[in-house]
Amino acid sequence: MANTFKNYRRNAVGTASEVAYVVASNATAILIGVNLSNTTANQITVSVQLSGTHLVKDAPVPAGGALSILDGKIVLEGEDSLSITSSAASSCDVLISALELT
């Protein structure tokens, strides 16, 4: 079994829900971090869902600020997906860190 640390990035996430990470069907992953950065001059709100379940909903991120949504680790199973939505068009950059076990 291989253990690999990986980062996944998404730039300019907007008002349409965008899948930022999908666990391979033959893998398990440990979510280490999810950082959201507001790239605009106005406050936005962001939502993050894990396969349809909210990890955070409409969380405020100040202009030019960032939000880290995890206090601990979350185990993801094969084909779980992480989706991000922002309240403004092209306003949120995302960095996801995970340990993948295949």
Q: pLDDT 10s per residue in the chain (102 long)?
A: 689 999 999 999 999 999 999 999 999 999 999 999 999 999 999 999 999 999 999 999 999 999 999 989 999 999 999 999 999 999 999 999 999 998
Q: Are 74 and 82 in contact (CB under 8 A)?
A: no
pTM: 0.92
Range of the domain at 59: 3-101
CATH code of the domain in which 95 resides = 2.60.120.340
**7 and 95 in contact (C-beta within 8 Å)?**
yes
Domain count, the chain: 1
